[in-house]
Chains A and B, each alone.
Chain A
C-alpha cells in the first residue's frame, strides 16, 4: 500500500521527513501523557513511604494489606461488581434486540429512535443524574438500588447498540430467512442463526457495558440510595479525606481488574472466532 511518507523526491522530501519526525515525536509525547500518571500510581502503590507521594523510600506491600482489611472498600467493590454484572447482562440483551429491530425492520419513528438511543452517551451525566432525582421527587419515590442499576443499563445501552448494529449490518438477512422458510420460528431463527453470528459483538458489548457500569461516577453519585457506595464513589469519598497510599494500591487493583477482564475477554473471543472460523469466512465472502 502507498504510504504518504514513502514518496521519494530529493529536496522536497526533507521538509516531509521533518514533518513526519515531528508527528512521531508528538505521538510519543501523547502516549507518555496518557500513561505516565497511571504508571506513577502503580509504582507509588508499592512505596513504603507513609505519604502517598514521591520520593520512593522502599518496597512494601503494606498498602495492599491495609486495603484487604478495609471493609468499606471491600463492600463497595462487591456492590460495584454485582451492579456491573447485572448491567452487562441486561444492557447486552436490550441493546442486541434494539439493534436487531433497527437494522432489520422498517417502522415509523425508526430514525428518531436510533438518534434517541445514543443520546444517553452524549447528555452530560450531571443532567441525567439530577433529572432522575427531580423526577422521583416529583412522584415522591425513594432512590433505590433498582433505579441505580436501570440507570447504569441505560448508560451502557448506546454503546452495545452501536457495536451490535455495526456487526448486524454485515450479516445478511438471507441466512435468517432461509431458516424461516425451512420452518424455524422467529425466535429460533434469531437464536440459531443471528445470535451465533453476533457473538463477537455480544462479547465486546457486554464487556464494554461492564466497564461502563463499574466505572460510572457522576451519575452514581446522584442515583445511589443512602448508604450505598460503589467503587468510584467510595474512592471519591476517600479522596475527600486525604490522599493516602492506600488509594494508589486501590487504583492498581482496579486497573488490574478493569484492564484484565477485557483482555481476557478478547482472548476468549479470539478462540471463539477460531472455532467458528468456517461460518465466518462464508459470511465475509458475500
Chain B
C-alpha cells in the first residue's frame, strides 16, 4: 500500500542466484576467515532481529495460547494448569459462540463482496483513463491510509448520526420528520469496514490490471470483439488474481476487526474480535479467550490456505507492497 503500485516483489525471484553465488566466491574479497561472500551464516545474522520479534510476538504467543486453551478456568483472572477440554467443549456446544462466528463470517463476506463490486470500477477507471493526472487519483486512494483509522471510523458518526449530514439535510428538506436510525447497527458497521477496506481492494485490482499486456485487448478488438466482449474475455479474467487477493485481504481484515463494530455498532453488532477482547479484558476468562483467539486464527488461516493453494502468496505480497 505504498507509493508505486506497479511494484513487482520478487520474494523468491533470485534468478541466476546460484550462478552469481559462485561468481561471488570467485571474487577476492576481504571477508571473515572461512566465510563465503554470501554466507548463509551472515544471512542468519541479518535476519536475527526480525526473527526474534516474530518469535516473541507471533510464534510464542500462538503456541502459548494453544496450550492455554486446555487450562482450567477457576474464576475471573484465575486459572490452573490442570489440562482439560472444557473450553473446547464449551465452544463446540454453545450456540452463543457459533452465532458470533457465523455473524462475523457473514459480515466479513458481505464486506469483501461489496468491496469487490464497488472497488473494481475505480480500479478499472484509473487504469483505463486517459486523464493526465492519473497519479492524483492513485494518491487520493493512498491518503486514507495515512489518516488515523479511529478518526476515519468515527467520522461516519458525522454522516450517519442523528445530527449527521444525511439526517439534518433530510429533516431540513422536510422529507422525514424523525431522524433515521442509521447508526449503531450492522449496516453502519459494514459501511465503516467498506470505508477502511476499499483502498486495499482498489489498489489490488489496479496492480493486476496494470500488469495486463494492453496489446491483448487491441488484438481481441481487431478480431471483432465488442468492447464488452473484450472486457469479459480478456481484461476481467486477467485481473482476477488481483480481485481474489483483494477479496481475501478484505475478508480477513474485516473478520478480525475490533474498533469498527465498537464505534459504529450496538452491542448486538459485536464481532468475534470484540468477543475475544470482552472474554479476556472484562470476564478475565483467559483460557476461553485463548480458545476463541485460536479459533479465529485457524478459521482465517483456513481461508488463507485455500487461497494460497490456488493463487500463491505473491499476489497478496504485491497488494500489500503496492
Contact = CB atoms under 8 A, between A and B. Distances in A.
A262 to B, nearest CB: 5
A37 B56 contact: no
A111 interface: yes
A34 B140 contact: yes
A125 B9 CA distance: 25
B214 interface: yes
B92 interface: no
Nearest to A103: B14
B291 to A, nearest CB: 11
B226 A107 contact: no
Contact of B57 (A16, A19, A138, A154): A154
Interface string A112-131: 01111111111111111111
B8 to A, nearest CB: 7
* Majority-rule SS of A interface residues: helix
Interface stretch (A51-59, A64-72, A191-199, A278-286): A51-59
A272 interface: no
Contacts of A140: none
Interface in B47-82: 47, 49-51, 53-54, 56-58, 60-62, 64-65, 68
Nearest to B46: A101
Given A23-B121, A100-B46, A134-B68, A259 B162 contact: no
B228 A181 contact: no
A251 interface: yes
A6 B9 CA distance: 32
Given A130-B290, A235-B150, A36 B11 contact: no
A150 interface: yes
B54 A116 contact: yes
B150 A217 contact: yes
B317 A162 contact: yes
* Majority-rule SS of B interface residues: helix
Contacts of B231: 4, 19
Contacts, number: 357
Give chain B's interface residue range (CB within 8 Å of chain A).
35 or more
B43 A107 contact: yes
26 contacts: A4-B231, A13-B227, A27-B126, A30-B118, A38-B144, A53-B161, A53-B164, A94-B49, A94-B50, A101-B42, A101-B43, A102-B47, A105-B46, A114-B11, A117-B54, A118-B313, A122-B249, A124-B256, A126-B293, A157-B50, A166-B9, A204-B2, A232-B149, A243-B161, A248-B158, A251-B148
Interface of A: 1-7, 9, 12-13, 15-16, 19-20, 22-24, 26-27, 30-31, 33-38, 40-41, 44, 51-55, 94-95, 97-98, 100-108, 110-111, 113-135, 137-138, 150-151, 153-154, 157-159, 161-163, 165-166, 169, 173, 177, 180-181, 183, 185-186, 204-205, 208, 211, 214-215, 217-218, 221-222, 231-232, 235-236, 239, 243, 247-248, 250-251, 254-255, 258-259, 261-262, 266
Interface of B: 1-3, 7-14, 17-18, 20-21, 23-24, 27-31, 37-38, 40, 42-44, 46-47, 49-51, 53-54, 56-58, 60-62, 64-65, 68, 118-119, 121-122, 124-126, 128, 130, 140-141, 143-152, 154-159, 161-165, 168-169, 172, 194-195, 198-199, 202, 214-215, 217-218, 221, 226-228, 230-231, 235, 249, 252-253, 255-259, 262-263, 273, 276-277, 280-281, 286, 289-290, 293, 296-297, 300, 304, 313, 316-317, 320-321
